[in-house]
Every structure is written in C-alpha cells, then in structure tokens.
Amino acid sequence: MRVVVFTFGAGQMLTEHTSPRAVVVTLLEGEMQFDVAGEPNIMKPGDVIYLAPDESHAVVALTDCRMQLVMVDTEA
C-alpha cells in the first residue's frame, strides 16, 4: 500500500491516465472534477472515489485543492 497527498492550484489538471493498482481517492480540501472512464464527477471535501486497476481517469482542479490517494496492490 502507498499513500500520496497531491496539492493542485485552481485550473491545474492531470490528463487521462491509468494505474496498475487499485486506488482510493479522498478529496481533503477544495473542489475538483474527477473523470472516471470518461464520466465526470464533481468532488467536494470528504468525497471518495474507488478506481479499479487500469481504470482510466483524469482530474481538473476547480479550486485550490488537496487530495489523498491510497494505492493498493491487488496481487497476493
């Protein structure tokens, strides 16, 4: 398991990509659009999104924000 905290300025983005690990995203501060497999989700503090391994996703910070990612290896 790996935990990472990202900080974004308003307007910053991550283009569509995937991760080989399962990921649990929690928005800690601010507001962001988090697209999963092309479907937009507006996240507010406390919202959580689960990403299966290799699921495509992209991020746009609507305000200054901070998010936590917990990446989990799904192989035994």
* Domain regions of the chain by residue span: 2-72
**The total number of residues written for the chain in this structure:** 76
Report the C-alpha gap between 56 and 28 in whole angstroms: 22
Report the C-alpha gap between 63 and 74 in whole angstroms: 32
| DSSP label of 39 | B
Give the residue-averaged pLDDT of 51-67: 98
Q: Tell me, yes or no, if the pTM score tops 0.85.
A: yes
> In CATH, what is the architecture of 2-72?
Sandwich (2.60)
Is residue 39 classed exposed, middle or buried when 0-12, 13-18 and 19+ CB atoms within 10 A define those classes? exposed
pLDDT of residue 50: 97
Question: What percent of the chain is predicted at pLDDT more than 70?
Answer: 99
